[in-house]
Amino acid sequence: MSDDCIFCDIVAEKAPCYPVHETRYTRTFLDLFPAAPGHCLIVTRRHFDDIFSATPDAIGMVGHVSTLIAHAVREELQCDGVGIYQLNGAAAGQTVFHYHMHVIPRWNGEELDIHARSPGVPEELEAMAARLNKRAYSMRVDE
C-alpha cells in the first residue's frame, strides 16, 4: 500500500472502479479514460512503482491474467485485435506509478492510442464491466 496511489485505493476498495476480474494477486477493472470501449487495466494488489520494482511472480501473474482478459475481450467484443501495453517511467508515458498492464480492444482502421482525453460514460462503463466480468469468468485459458 502506498499513500496517494489511486490504484492502491482501488485495490483496497477505498476508491470505486468498474470491476472485471479478481485474483489473489491482481485486480482488473476498466480504464476510466478508455482508449476504446472495453479498455481494461490489470493491476497488482501489492504496490510496485513499475516493472523494475515488481517481483517476477507478480509480473508473471499479471501476464497470465492478461491472456485471460485478452481472450475475454476478443470473444465478447468481436474486435479485430487486442493491444497489450505496459509503460514504465514518465519517459515511456506512464502516468500512474503502480505497476499495471493495459488490455485494449482494437478495430481495423482505428487510430492507435493508449491514452484517451475524455472519460467514459458511467452507464456504458458499468454495462461493459458487467459483460467482460461475465465473459472472463465463463472461460478458461489453461485448457
* CB neighbour list of residue 32: distance below 8 Å, 6 or more residues apart: 119, 120, 125
Helices (runs of H) and strands (runs of E) counted in the chain: 3, 5
All three cell numbers of 73, joined, read 475481450
Q: Does 51 bind ligand 5GP (CB under 6 A)?
A: no
Q: Which of 21, 47, 100, 102 is catalytic?
A: 100
Q: If contact means CB under 5 to 8 A according to the sort of partner, which of ligand 5GP, Zn ion, none does residue 17 touch?
A: ligand 5GP
Q: Is 69 in contact with 20 (CB distance < 8 Å)?
A: yes
Q: Does 29 bind ligand 5GP (CB under 6 A)?
A: yes
Provide the angle, in degrees to the nearest 10, between the axes of the packed helices 56-77 and 122-137.
Answer: 100
Q: Does 70 bind Zn ion (CB under 5 A)?
A: no
Q: If contact means CB under 5 to 8 A according to the sort of partner, which of ligand 5GP, Zn ion, none does residue 96 touch?
A: ligand 5GP
All three cell numbers of 89, joined, read 517511467
Binders of Zn ion among residues 81 to 100 (CB under 5 A) are 98
Give the binding-site size for Zn ion (rule: CB under 5 A): 6
Q: If contact means CB under 5 to 8 A according to the sort of partner, which of Zn ion, ligand 5GP, none does residue 8 touch?
A: Zn ion
> How many whole angstroms separate alpha carbon 137 and alpha carbon 95?
29
Q: Does 5 bind Zn ion (CB under 5 A)?
A: yes
Which residues are catalytic, by number?
Answer: 100
* Footprint on this chain of ligand 5GP (rule: CB under 6 A): 6, 17, 29-33, 41, 87, 93-96, 115
